[in-house]
Chains A and B, each alone.
Chain A
Amino acid sequence: MRQGFHEEIDNLALQVEVMSLLVRDSLGGAVEVAVSGDGALAGRMISADDEIDAMHTSLTEKCIELLVREQPVARDLRTVLAVMRVIDSLERIGDLTLRVANQAHDVDLINRHPAVAAVLRELEANVIHRFDSVAAAWSSRNLDELADLADTEPLDRFGPPLLRHITELDSADAARVAVAAFVVGRSFDRIGDHSMVVANRLRFMLTGDISFLAAEVG
Chain B
Amino acid sequence: MTQPTEHRREFHRQMDELKSDILRLGGMVIETIPRGTEVLLSGDLKVAKDLIAYDDQIDKLSIDIEDRVYTIMARQAPAAGDLRHLVTISKLVAELERSADLMVNVSKASRRMYGSAMSPRIRGVASSMANEAQKLMQFSLDAYADADESLAAALDDIDDALDELNVDMVEAVFAAHTDGSIDLQAAVQLALVARYYERIGDHAVNIGHRVIYMVTGWMPEGASRLVAGDSADSAAVAEIPDQ
Contacts and interface: CB of A to CB of B under 8 A. Distances in A.
Interface of A: 42-43, 46, 53, 56-57, 60-61, 64, 67-68, 71, 73-74, 77, 81, 84, 88-89, 91-93, 95-96, 98-99, 101-106, 163, 166-167, 169, 174-176, 178-180, 182-183, 185-187, 189-191, 193-194, 210, 213-214, 217-218
Contacts of A183: 231-234, 237
Contacts of B178: 175
A98 B80 CA distance: 35
A185 to B, nearest CB: 8
Contacts of A91: 224
Contacts of A218: 59, 101
B62 interface: yes
Interface residues of B, number: 49
A81 B70 contact: yes
A193 B239 CA distance: 25
B59 A182 contact: no
Summarize A's interface: helix, strand, loop or mixed.
helix
A217 B185 contact: no
Contacts of A67: 73, 83, 87
A217 B90 CA distance: 13
Given A103-B233, A194-B228, A182 B219 contact: no
B177 A175 contact: yes
Interface in B63-121: 63, 66-67, 70, 73-74, 77, 80, 83-84, 87, 90, 94, 97, 101, 112
B223 interface: yes
Contacts of A210: 67, 70
A167 B233 contact: no
Contact of A84 (B74, B87, B174, B177): B87
A64 B232 contact: no
Given A81-B73, A178-B184, A213 B237 contact: no
22 contacts: A46-B240, A53-B222, A67-B73, A68-B80, A68-B83, A81-B73, A84-B87, A95-B224, A102-B233, A102-B237, A167-B185, A169-B184, A175-B174, A178-B187, A179-B188, A180-B233, A183-B237, A187-B233, A189-B231, A191-B229, A213-B66, A217-B62
B226 A213 contact: no
A186 B231 contact: yes
A214 B63 contact: yes
Nearest to B59: A217
A204 B236 CA distance: 41
A98 B242 contact: yes
A187 B192 contact: no
Nearest to A42: B240
Contact of A96 (B80, B90, B219, B228): B228
Contact of B243 (A95, A190, A217): A95
Contacts of A57: 219, 223
Given A77-B73, A101-B240, A182 B232 contact: yes
